[in-house]
A = this chain, B = another copy of it.
Amino acid sequence: MRDDLAFAVWSRERQQRIEAVLAQLLPSEAAPSPRLAAAMRYAVLGGGKRVRPLLAYAAGEFASADPAAVDSRAAAVEFIHAYSLIHDDLPCMDDDALRRGKPTVHVAFDVATALLAGDALQSLAFEALNGAFPPGAHACRVLAQAAGHAGMAGGQQLDLDATGAALDLEALMRLHALKTGALIRAAVRLGAACGRPLADAEAHALDAFADAAGLAFQVVDDVLDVEGSAATLGKTAGKDAAQDKATFVTLLGLASAKRHAHALHENARAALAPLGGAARRLSEIADWIVLRTH
């Protein structure tokens, strides 16, 4: 099979797999509040590229882990991601009405329910971790740090603090290393931790890969925000400019931002080079992240 075809089959299979895992872990209509359960399911299911779960599965494969061992951790990371999107879209944050081609949760339900659905999804992430094999306090710490004040939430606050302010490239990269990078790094670490013990050099290589791929992902996001349409993106296009936010495009210009994405892509691939063929899926995910159109 051609390589790109093999990756398409692999990623489709893993996307279907994580969809089933997520659906299984989410509360059903029999939950104490059916409305809360419905909002949580609406936010998580039936959309999304599942980049973070794919990274967890691919890192698991690198460490010879069974995909079944990765399931709960991949789901935990996706629950954190989904909660962050709900809260990010709220009126007090980006005030966005469209996400994954559907009305955002606070539009489809209401603001208070969206707030609680995000809160409950964060709890569910840590609950899911516990069904993971191997279970463990280590995974709880890795995910909590990636999500918290020194990770994703800290990055979102930096983003907030910077609205309307002039950021330089270094500050913007630091912001995104937290806002999106921390959780991507956690996805790779949590997946890899399901397999054989890694040598330090392997663990460092995976971290370096995740950091470069995470930043590349964000730069491409900024490019697509300018070049894409709501129809292809599934979310409001052009909103960075409308909100007067510093992005890689506003700082570097469109052409230079694309070159920056290309360079980060090369860094991600270079980080994997010493790891050999076992890291192939990770490399293919990086290709897919950079070459995507939405």
A positions within 8 Å CB-CB of B: 27, 31-33, 35-37, 40, 83, 87, 90-93, 110-113, 115-116, 118-120, 122-127, 129-130, 135-138, 140-141, 143-145, 147-151, 153-158, 160-161, 174, 178
Contact = CB atoms under 8 A, between A and B. Distances in A.
Contacts of A148: 120, 123-124, 127
A129 B122 contact: no
A35 B156 CA distance: 12
Q: By DSSP majority rule, is chain A's interface helix, strand, loop, or mixed? A: helix
Given A120-B149, A127-B140, 20 more contacts: A32-B158, A32-B178, A33-B149, A33-B154, A92-B110, A92-B111, A93-B115, A115-B115, A119-B122, A120-B148, A120-B153, A120-B154, A120-B157, A123-B144, A123-B147, A123-B151, A124-B144, A126-B143, A129-B140, A136-B137
Contact of A112 (B93, B118, B145): B93
Contacts of A124: 144, 148-149
Contact of A113 (B113, B127, B143, B157): B157
A159 B161 CA distance: 33
A145 B25 CA distance: 12
A30 B140 CA distance: 23
